[in-house]
């Protein structure tokens, strides 16, 4: 019988550390429920001591989730551990994850502690965390650059205190697969009672090796992988959950373990996380990218038509691709709309939210004859953003004009706190003019750091999905907007980001 490979998802904690990816309590709940549907083993819901908002979000996830373990992160001190313990206490199954840096550069320059002091802190933290739960995980931060002898001392000491999971982080993405796999093997061989704990890894993608390093660790005895949906995370991101899961499942001829993940929930999870965070998925992203199962070359197309296995090593439907299934049209009723949302695993919080989403669906159906699953995902994400942010700013109408040889201009009407305001502006293009017109009204002073456009489905009738990133006073937010008119989508995305900047709902981004 094959071993179980535990999937530890940290989208809501490490993934949230991506600039602009911080989430509200309600957004974490939506992601948590989707991860539970996907049968993720452990959900790291946040860092409770980082802010009151994140404490409440982790506690809400702990109350809602029944079939996955809910985990809270804590630094190796009593305050952090107590807050994490309190936040995850309502969970049916809970875990406290403590960490302290063990590399020379981190101990000297960040912690300003000697190795002996770090060892003492680690032992005390493990002992204190065990007062609250039997399920304690320990991470020596920057293990990939730590001295092996010292690493062994620390890990042996915390295992003696009853830690159940030892996680080895490649915090800065420095190692390569052969080296990282050898590190896991060495630690397991050298440390007494190593067989009494689950060995885990947490790899960052700075050199593009997070998944490769994680899988090398599995081949050397690791039985938990910490990862995120879409590989989300600070800097270049973390190991991608979908790539890890499907690599292990596709290559069962070499891996001595498998996960319990329901892979058909992978694409829905990818879309949900992308919509909430405002981080679009690149088209050529493995497993969840729009081109992941597309074949352009004639030889490839011919081979796939004759036998799918010639060029496809997994089936698109196995990971949740719906083949752009046509589901609804302008004559579809509320019950059909509600049923399709249920089939897609989309949960709206209230009847009011369903009704508001249905109104938007009808508006879209008047513009676009064929409504696909992807359109519904974008529409519901748009509605959820509006609900969470309270919509201080809302687009009422937009007129944009662009003509060869003439300077484009835009006239816009937006609702601000219930009252309508108007402005017009000229710009280098209709999008530029529209955003300048918005700024005449709101005068936000925010800096536009990112603007990107993606087509949600194929064809000229496709909705465009626009992501904008705004920065003001050190705070970074992402805004998302979708419409069949890309200029309108751009205005919606910009207003979405402005609503986040103005929102009183606490969004945390600890950037640990």
Q: Which helix (H) or strand (E) holds 94?
A: strand 94-101
| Dist CA 14 CA 50 (whole Å) | 13
Same domain for 345 and 272?
A: no
What's the pLDDT tens digit per position in 173-195? 999 999 999 999 999 999 999 99
With contact defined as beta carbons under 8 Å apart, do 75 and 49 qualify? yes
Look at the alpha carbons of 405, 459, 302, 319 in this order and tell me if their dihedral is positive or negative: positive
Instruction: Indicate which CATH number applies to the domain containing 488.
Output: 3.30.160.270
Q: The sheet that has 464-472: what strands, in order across it?
A: 447-455, 464-472, 475-483
Same domain, 238 and 155: yes
Residue 305 is assigned to a structural domain of this protein: yes
**CA–CA distances in Å: residue 47 to residues 28, 52, 185, 197, 403:** 12, 10, 30, 23, 51
DSSP 30-86: HHHHHHHHTT-SEEEEE-GGG-HHHHHHHHHHHHH-SSSEEEEEEESSHHHHHHHHH
pLDDT in tens, 405-438: 999 999 999 999 889 999 999 999 999 999 999 9
- DSSP conformational letter for 193: T
Spell out the SS3 assignment of 102-141. CCHHHHHHHHCCCHHHHHHHHHHHHHHHCCCCCCEEEEEE
369 and 395 housed in the same domain: no
Same domain for 216 and 300? no
Inter-residue contact 17 to 510 (CB < 8 Å): yes
Among 245, 277, 309, which residue terminates a domain? 277
Do 234 and 187 reside in the same domain of the chain?
yes
Q: Yes or no: say if 184 and 201 are a contact pair by the CB < 8 Å rule.
A: yes
Q: What are phi and psi of 467, to 5 degrees?
A: -115, 130
Q: What is the pLDDT of residue 327?
A: 62
240: domain CATH number is 3.20.20.70
Last residue of a domain, one of 339, 356, 386: 386
* Full DSSP string of 453-483: EEESSSSTTPPEEEEEEEEETTEEEEEEEEE
User: Same structural domain for residues 259 and 213?
Assistant: yes
Q: What is the pLDDT of residue 383?
A: 65
Claim to verify: residue 302 and residue 220 sit in the same structural domain: no
306 and 375 inside one domain? no
Other beta carbons within 10 Å of 337: 21
Instruction: Give the start-end residues of each E strand in 232-337.
Output: 257-258, 326-328
Q: Please indicate, yes or no, if residue 287 is contained in any of the structural domains.
A: no
One domain for residues 374 and 432: no
Tally of domains within the chain: 4
pLDDT tens sequence for the chain (512 residues) = 789 999 999 999 999 988 888 888 988 999 999 999 999 999 999 999 999 999 999 999 999 999 999 999 999 999 999 999 999 999 999 999 999 999 999 999 999 999 999 999 999 999 999 999 999 999 999 998 999 999 999 999 999 999 999 999 999 999 999 999 999 999 999 999 999 999 999 999 999 999 999 999 999 999 999 999 999 998 999 999 999 999 999 999 999 999 999 999 999 999 899 988 888 888 889 999 877 776 444 443 444 345 555 556 688 888 887 655 556 777 778 888 888 787 776 777 778 878 888 888 888 777 766 677 777 777 777 666 665 556 789 999 999 999 999 999 999 999 998 899 999 999 999 999 999 999 999 999 999 999 988 877 666 667 888 999 999 988 888 888 888 899 999 999 999 999 988 875 544 444 33
Residue 187 lies in a domain: yes
* Residue 283: inside a domain: no
**Backbone torsion region of residue 405, taken as left when φ is above 0, otherwise alpha when ψ lies between -120 and 50, otherwise beta:** left
Query: Do 187 and 250 have their domain in common?
Result: yes
CA dist., res. 452 & res. 454, Å (int): 7
Contact 351, 245 (CB under 8 A): no
One domain for residues 261 and 307: no
* pLDDT value of residue 304: 39
Q: Which domain holds residue 433?
A: 390-502
On whether residue 285 sits in a domain, the answer given is no
Based on C-alpha coordinates, what's the Rg of the chain? Answer: 24
Question: Which ranges constitute the DSSP H helices of 252-297?
Answer: 266-277
H runs (alpha helix) in 143-225: 148-160, 177-190, 210-218
Describe the crossing of helices 334-343 and 373-389 by its angle, rounded to 10 degrees.
90
The Cα–Cα gap between 60 and 91 comes to 9
Distance of alpha carbon 403 from alpha carbon 216, whole angstroms: 56
Q: How far apart are CA 123 and CA 248, in angstroms?
A: 34
Among 350, 366, 386, which residue terminates a domain? 386
In angstroms, the CA 378 to CA 480 distance is 9
> Are 101 and 197 found together in one domain?
yes
In-domain check, residue 315 = yes
């Amino acid at each position: 019988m094959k071993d179980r490979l535990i999937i530890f998802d940290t989208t809501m904690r490490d993934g949230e550390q991506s600039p602009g990816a911080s989430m509200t309590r309600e957004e974490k709940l939506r992601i948590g429920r989707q991860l539970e549907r996907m049968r993720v083993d452990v959900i790291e819901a946040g860092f409770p001591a980082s802010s009151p908002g994140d404490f409440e979000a982790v506690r809400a996830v702990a109350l809602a989730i029944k079939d996955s373990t809910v985990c809270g992160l804590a630094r190796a001190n009593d305050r952090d551990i107590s807050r994490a313990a309190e936040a995850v206490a309502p969970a049916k199954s809970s875990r406290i994850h403590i960490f302290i840096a063990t590399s020379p550069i981190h101990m000297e320059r960040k912690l300003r502690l000697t190795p002996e002091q770090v060892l003492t802190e680690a032992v005390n933290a493990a002992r204190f965390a065990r007062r609250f739960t039997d399920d304690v995980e320990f991470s020596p931060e920057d293990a990939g650059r730590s001295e092996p002898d010292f690493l062994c001392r620390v890990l042996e000491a915390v295992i003696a205190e009853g830690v159940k999971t030892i996680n080895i982080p490649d915090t800065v993405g420095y190692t390569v697969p052969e080296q990282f796999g050898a590190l896991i093997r060495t630690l397991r061989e050298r440390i007494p009672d190593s067989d009494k704990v689950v060995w885990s890894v947490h790899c960052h993608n700075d050199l593009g090796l997070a998944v490769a390093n994680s899988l090398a660790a599995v081949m050397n005895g690791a039985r938990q992988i910490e990862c995120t949906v879409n590989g989300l995370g600070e800097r270049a991101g973390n190991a991608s959950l979908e790539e890890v899961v499907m690599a292990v499942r596709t290559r069962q001829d070499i891996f001595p373990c498998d996960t319990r993940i329901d892979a058909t929930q992978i694409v829905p999870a990818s879309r949900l996380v992308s919509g909430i965070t405002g981080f679009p998925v690149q088209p050529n992203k493995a497993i969840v990218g729009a081109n992941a199962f597309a074949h352009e070359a004639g030889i490839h197309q011919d081979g796939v038509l004759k036998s799918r296995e010639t060029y496809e090593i997994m089936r698109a439907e196995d990971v949740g691709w719906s083949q752009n299934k046509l589901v609804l049209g302008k004559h579809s009723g509320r019950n059909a709309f509600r049923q399709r949302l249920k089939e897609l695993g989309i949960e709206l919080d209230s009847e009011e939210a369903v009704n508001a989403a249905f109104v938007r669906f009808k508006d879209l159906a008047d513009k676009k004859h064929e409504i696909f699953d992807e359109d519904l995902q974008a529409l519901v994400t748009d509605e959820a953003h509006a609900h969470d942010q309270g919509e201080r700013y809302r687009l009422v109408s937009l007129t944009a004009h662009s003509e060869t040889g003439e300077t484009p201009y835009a006239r816009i009407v937006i609702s601000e706190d219930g009252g309508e305001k108007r402005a017009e502006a000229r710009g280098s293009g209709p999008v530029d003019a529209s955003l300048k017109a918005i700024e005449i009204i709101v005068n936000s002073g925010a800096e536009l750091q990112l603007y990107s456009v993606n087509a949600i489905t194929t064809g000229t009738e496709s909705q465009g999905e626009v992501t904008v990133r705004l920065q003001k006073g050190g705070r970074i937010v992402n805004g998302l907007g979708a419409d069949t008119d890309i200029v309108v989508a751009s205005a919606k995305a910009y207003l979405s980001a402005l609503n986040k900047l103005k929102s009183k709902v606490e969004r945390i981004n600890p950037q640990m």
